[in-house]
Amino acid sequence: MPADAGALAWNLAANLPDPKPPEPVIDLAARAKAVYELNSRVKAMLPDSATLDTFEPREAGEPAMRQAEFLTFDLHGSARSNADISQFLRQLTNQPDFSNVELVRIRREDDRMVFDIMVRWREVEAP
């Protein structure tokens, strides 16, 4: 018995997954400005004894910067004490645009405590 081509096409179409929504495209200049301002904001959160040597996004290149809803940053720096690093971590954790604030590594080098922190950042609209 020959197959009914119309019914077959309909059955195949019924089983197709919904099309994937398009990735958001973020204005690259606006994102670069927001990341620059974020860097300044993070530095302002540092205790007086602390320095931030590296503020680096893990997602590199234009496509990631245009399409990533969240950006992950690696922060590397040093402070006089663990208490100063804890204060900095609390400041980061209390920011509404940061999630997954994680102290990755801490160690003593000379007379300083050196830290590596990872944060996820999502740009939030100003109220």
- pLDDT tens-digit profile of 14-59? 566 667 766 666 777 888 888 899 999 999 999 999 999 999 988 7
> Residue 70 to residues 19, 76, 98, 106: CA-CA distances in angstroms?
23, 20, 9, 25
Overall average pLDDT of the 82-106 stretch: 95
Q: Is 92 helix (H, G, I), strand (E, B) or coil?
A: helix
Report the C-alpha gap between 35 and 120 in whole angstroms: 12
Domain 25-121 carries which CATH code?
3.30.70.2830
User: What size, in residues, is the chain?
Assistant: 127
Query: Which amino acid belongs to residue 46?
Result: L
Render pLDDT for 58-87 as a digit per residue (tens, 0 to 9): 877 666 676 677 889 999 999 999 999 999
What is the pTM for the complete model shown? Answer: 0.73
